[in-house]
Structure 1
């Protein structure tokens, strides 16, 4: 059982954590409101990065397309 999207998902999680940490360090404010807002923005940025990289990798042929994975018979 192959899981070709697992490294991409792990990369998206790492990207989300690094982006959020960088934005917190850059803003210099560690108030609870700032942390919550940056965590939500980090989750959105990580999800958008994942979708963009998945689209690009499918386009380059490095991942199977959604249509090909469901109907292989």
Structure 2
């Protein structure tokens, strides 16, 4: 795992877990289908959050760009 992305990935996992837990708590009926759907949606939302934050941090210069890492090798 890339060192600069370690905190971003940990934040994305935490965001995914918190978002999924909040949505499960907010939706009252606890059926198995509801839990599966919310878990899948939580995974998608967490991944999209990770991609958006990575793009934003690269744009702001807080992370190295993808093409910069290939030149350093």
TM-score normalised over the length of structure 1: 0.94
Partner of 1:9: 9
In the TM superposition, what is the alpha-carbon distance from 1:29 to its structure 2 partner?
1.8
State the aligned residue count: 72
Q: Show CA shifts across 1:8-38 (max 9, x none).
A: 0000000000000000011012111000000
Root-mean-square deviation (CA), in Å? 1.1
Partner of 2:67: 67
Higher relative helix content = 2
Distance in 2 separating the partners of 1:71 and 1:30: 51
How do 1:14-53 residues align onto structure 2 when only pairs under 5 Å count?
14-53=14-53
Distance in 2 separating the partners of 1:27 and 1:56: 31
Distance in 2 separating the partners of 1:70 and 1:35: 41
TM-score normalised over the length of structure 2: 0.94
Structure 2, unaligned stretches of length 5 or more? none
Distance in 1 separating the partners of 2:30 and 2:17: 16
